[in-house]
Amino acid sequence: MLQAELLIEANDIHAWYGSSHVLQGIDFTISRGETVGLLGRNGMGKSTLIRTLLGHIKQRDGHISVRGKDMSKAKPHEVARMGIAYVPEGRGIFPNLSVRENLIMAARPSLDGRNDWPYERILETFPRLQERIGNMGNQLSGGEQQMLSIGRALMTHPDLIILDEATEGLAPLIVEEIWRVIDTIRASGIATLIVDRNYHKVLANSDRAIVLQKGQVVLTGKAETVVQSEELAGYLGV
């Protein structure tokens, strides 16, 4: 069987905040179309790993390649241009632009010219955004902002979408809606990297899982295997 193309291959990743050595030698891969769940208690390094892969953390070491190209020293916009979209915890939408403008200004085809997530498909996927199309970013509820942020990511036609705590602080119905959208994204063949407090949901919606503890990988494998691991509860503090 042909091995799926690796979108990201990272080896021996280290990261520091000042003198604090937060990531201590992490190996990480994600293949085209794959969904990976990233788990671990608060402060174990999940966001830092994501931000390191994206080029946001300057004090880093190790090797990162994106689509086979060395990106170990790349800047965030260079990583983004390689088809890696990031939906940050803080959502990152433009508060003074309308929903429509927020979406339209994000639009670009994929590196290989794919254009299968046009504006219309985004509105079909997020009926709530359609209803709010003329509202400014800062007039949206938290859940609507989150949907807009995911919609903006989709409009860049990424090969990988990274969702960091996408359901954090949202009402249960909206959370369900976000998981439905994640399912739609997966089904469309886009790889996803998911961080979420609800580890049951993460594991049920991932192909593979990686569990971090104190900046190191302590458990990894197929999601259905990880979910049965006796060590999982201890690592997650549940």
Ligand X SMILES: Nc1ncnc2c1ncn2[C@@H]1O[C@H](COP(=O)(O)OP(=O)(O)OP(=O)(O)O)[C@@H](O)[C@H]1O
Question: Sheet harboring 20-31: ordered strands across?
Answer: 20-31, 6-17, 60-66, 69-70
The DSSP annotation for the chain comes to -PPPPEEEEEEEEEEEETTEEEEEEEEEEEETT-EEEEE-STTSSHHHHHHHHTT--SSEEEEEEETTEE-TT--HHHHHHTTEEEE-TT----TTSBHHHHHHHH----TT----S-HHHHHHH-HHHHHTTTSBGGGS-HHHHHHHHHHHHHHT--SEEEEESTTTT--HHHHHHHHHHHHHHHHTT-EEEEE-S-HHHHHHT-SEEEEEETTEEEEEEEHHHHTT-TTHHHHHT-
- The reply on whether position 37 binds ligand X by CB under 6 A is no
- The reply on whether position 88 binds ligand X by CB under 6 A is no
- The reply on whether position 47 binds ligand X by CB under 6 A is yes
Near ligand X by CB under 6 A: residue from 12, 17, 95, 116:
17
Q: Which of residues 113-142 bind ligand X (CB under 6 A)?
A: none
Near ligand X by CB under 6 A: residue from 8, 46, 65, 226:
46
- The reply on whether position 22 binds ligand X by CB under 6 A is yes
CB of 87 to ligand X, least distance (A): 14
Near ligand X by CB under 6 A: residue from 35, 48, 125, 167:
48
- Residue nearer to ligand X on the CB measure, 58 or 108: 58
- Residue nearer to ligand X on the CB measure, 40 or 88: 40
- The reply on whether position 45 binds ligand X by CB under 6 A is yes
- Residue nearer to ligand X on the CB measure, 20 or 96: 20
CB of 15 to ligand X, least distance (A): 8
Give me the amino acid identity at 145. Answer: Q
Q: Which stretch binds ligand X (CB under 6 A): 16-24, 76-84, 145-153, 203-211?
A: 16-24
The count of residues in the chain is 238
Give the x/- contact pattern for ligand X in 198-237, rule: CB under 6 A: ----------------------------------------
Residues lying near ligand X in the complex (CB under 6 A) are found at 17, 20, 22, 40, 42-48
